[in-house]
Homo-oligomer: A and B are copies of this chain.
Amino acid sequence: MTNLEIDKQTKIAACIEAMNACNKCYVSSLKEYDLASLWESMKYNKEAAEICSFAAAALSRGTVFEQEILALVVKACEQCANESEKFEHIHCQSSVEACRRCAEICSTLSLTV
């Protein structure tokens, strides 16, 4: 396995982690007493999850639009983290952590480029 592949696998793994944390945050939020105030944050979590899932699949098949799709991931994860960090629920904090990490990893240049 080359450096390029290791690097891509790290990005795919970070996207899957963020997808899982965001989906968990969305589903858990639906059961919270403060559902109404969580609403905006939930929309970002749902969409960040979808974008991360799409990006993982695209990276995996070697998309020619890697740069553009990673830029979308970074933007979605950063905005999702900004919304989620307004809340103290554990699932919101886990989403913030996974999204910040995914945004950082997906905004780094590839090791071998």
Q: Which positions 8-54 of chain A face chain B at CB distance < 8 Å?
A: 9, 12, 16, 19-20, 23, 26-27, 43-44, 47, 49-51, 53-54
- Would B49 and A63 count as touching, CB distance under 8 A? no
What CA separation (Å) do A44 and B68 show in the bound complex?
A: 13
Q: How large is the interface on A (under 10, 10 to 19, 20 to 34, 35 or more residues)?
A: 20 to 34
- Are B54 and A23 in contact, with the CB atoms below 8 A? no
Q: Is the CB of B23 within 8 A of A12?
A: no
| Given A68-B72, A72-B72, A75-B65: A60 in contact with B9 (beta carbons within 8 A) | no
Closest to A42 in B: B30
Contact, CB under 8 Å: B49 / A64: no
